[in-house]
Structures are given as C-alpha cells and as structure tokens.
Amino acid sequence: MLAEINRKPATAAETVLELFTAMHRSTILEIRGMFTRNEIIALAFYAKTKKPVLQIMCNTSIYALEIEEAEKYKSSISAHGVDPNALIGKIKKMTSAQVAILQLEIFSFLKRERKYHDHINFLDRKVPPQEIIASRNQQKNPDLEPLIQNLS
C-alpha cells in the first residue's frame, strides 16, 4: 500500500483524508461527555481570543498552560462558572490527538458560525437553522448549542 501511495499523489491525498476523517470521528467519540456545558462555553469563548497554531495544537501541556494563563490574566474561565483547576486537569489527561481535535472542532464551529448563519452542518449531523440570528457585527455571543450537544 505504501508503494502505491508513493506513486500516486491523488491516492495519497485520499488516504490521508480517509485516515483523518476516521481519526476525527473516533476522537470525538472519546472526548464526548468529558466536558460540562460551562466548560465547553468557556473553551469556546477562550478560542475566540486566539488564532490556531497548527504546529503546537496537539501539545496538551501548551494548551493547559494557555488555559491557565487565560484564567490568571483575564479570569476568562471562572467567568463562565468553571473551576479552572478541574478544567486544566481534564486537559492534561487528554492525548495529543484529543486536544488537537477538541481545538479544531471549536475553531471550525466558530468559523462556520460566523460564515454560515442559516445552516450549521456539524459532524455529519444537520442542526435546524436558528429562527433569528443577528448579523456578525451585532452578535457577540454565537449560539454554542450545537457545539455543546456534540461535545457533552
């Protein structure tokens, strides 16, 4: 199989995409239920303040440190009724794949929420469109229900 992948770039790309899709789905199943509703909200609001850096996204220690500093300097975790030490403990117990997929899921949800207000296709599951959604400039807090339902 590896020899075939090396000879055919299209096959290599398909293989990588299939592998990532399978890993993504199984990892989502692993982390589903790991976080409470308020923890997911706190992580989503924290994610709105930073840009994803793919090179370090899979480092559990760095993500835990970022959350710790967000709490230390801005109280952005406890502002949502979350115990920051408990959240950091959960993050430190995650594998690198789990922490990367968690962040990718949050970032992609926030990006879709900003771009496509009418329909959100979240993990191959259609979520009914919201009745009234304010424009991007008016909406400060995106509806996090689809993200919460998927991860909790």
pLDDT tens sequence across 58-73: 999 999 999 999 999 8
Two tokens at 114?
């900003």
- Look at residue 99 and give its three-state secondary structure: helix
**Helices and strands (H, E) in the chain, number of each type:** 7, 2
pLDDT given for residue 101 in this prediction? 93
Q: What is the mean pLDDT of residues 25-38?
A: 88
- What b/e string do you get for 129-151 counting C-beta neighbours within 10 Å, with b at 16 or more? eeeeeeeeeeeeebebebbbebb
> DSSP states of 5-56 as a string?
HHH-HHHHHHHHHHHHHHHHHHHHHHHTTSS-HHHHHHHHHHHTTS---TTT
Domain boundaries, given as residue ranges, for the chain? 2-151
Q: Can you give the pTM of this predicted structure?
A: 0.71
Residue 35, Cβ density class (10 Å: 0-12 exposed, 13-18 middle, ≥19 buried): buried
- CA 97 to centroid of chain Cα atoms: 12
Alpha-carbon span 121 to 5, nearest angstrom: 31
Condensed to tens digits (0 to 9), the pLDDT of residues 116-132 reads: 443 333 333 433 444 33
pLDDT given for residue 66 in this prediction? 92
In this structure, of 1-10, 36-45, 64-73, 103-112, the range with the lowest mean pLDDT score is 1-10
